[in-house]
Structure 1
Amino acid sequence: MNRRKYPPARNTVNKQTPSPEVKKPFRWIPGLLPTILALVGVWIPYKAQQISISQACIARVDSEESRVTEKTGALTAALGVFVSKTINPAVSADAYYSAAEKALYAARELTVYAPEPYRDKVMDAFWGVEDLMQISAHLKPREFERLAINRFNLLNIGYDAYRSSKDEERRLCTQDDPPPFVNEMLMRYLTFINS
């Protein structure tokens, strides 16, 4: 059997002409919602990470400042006892040198924790104690005493500058970009891990 395939018959009675396409003014809105959700899904973890990084940075700065403040308080107290021994003419040489040794110990202990600019001021106070120790407990020339007191005052100025620098580090911790010292610490850590 030989069947021929004929094209289907056209229905000319109900033929509709295609209407021109109507442009919808807001057809991009359905695609906008997934895009917004994707951006929010990326932004929220990013901000959470930034917040946790800044909180860790601030905690590190606070910890370091607390340690240095504690050691500075110990040094200041030891210097106060030592200076009181230099003023008292009836103090024994043993008590005088014992107070000086405690002040020197506190100064050396502080140099372990203090950063570089403040460490210089601590060492100035250290050398001021050394100057006063070299003077006899009963013969104290006023010039050396004034020099030592000036060195002790430099310690206060250095501590104020140190506190200001820590406030600046805290401010840098709250910025979106990590502060330079965080990047430096991260690079040291990565180098340590890779070695």
Structure 2
Amino acid sequence: MLAPEELLCVSQWLSPAFPVGGFAYSQGLEAGVSSGDVCPDTLEDWVDGVLRYGAGRMDAVLLCAAARGEDVSELAEALAVSSGRRRETLEMGAALGRCLRGSFDMEMPDGAYPVVFGQAVRARGLPLEPVVVLFLQSLTTLLVHAGQRLMPLGQEKAQRIIAELGPVCVSVAGEALASGIDEIGTATFGADLASLRQDSLEVRIFRS
């Protein structure tokens, strides 16, 4: 369990108001919507796949490894499936490190976003399981809100999707806690191809 002070700390780090720039990225969702692969009726399945088999699970494993003190910085960068995803994780990681140094007086290096987050968890001695669950819920919220900006998706349906994916976040967090780096892998071919197509969109809202 997170103590009240710890809960406030993690909630602040994952808040949309914390200036890491997550709103600028969609992890290829924009390209998926543009090609017709994602619509309001299939968005939940898309995000579910990302959480279980894609960037969600991978980033959760990297976060856990970094929180345990493992050096996974180069691995995290190498695992980025596209230039957009690499830019996303490095820029968000740099912004997170900068904010932690400036607002929390923490000596944090730059790096991939989940790695810096894991290092911050280790530095503050936070319990890992609830942090990973909240981290995955934050990713879920980011992708669903991106879907709202790309499609006619109402607020109530968006919140229902986030709520229904809550148990998935809990399940994936448990798997990540029990997994080592040698068990990292993804199998989200549609999302990966969309991420590769994202940079070639003539008109786009998101950077990845």
Give the TM-score category using the shorter length.
under 0.3
RCO higher in 1 or 2 (8 Å CA, sep ≥ 6)? 2
Between Structure 1 and Structure 2, which shows a larger proportion of helix residues? 1
State which structure, 1 or 2, has the greater radius of gyration over its C-alpha atoms.
1
Structure 2 length normalisation: TM-score? 0.23
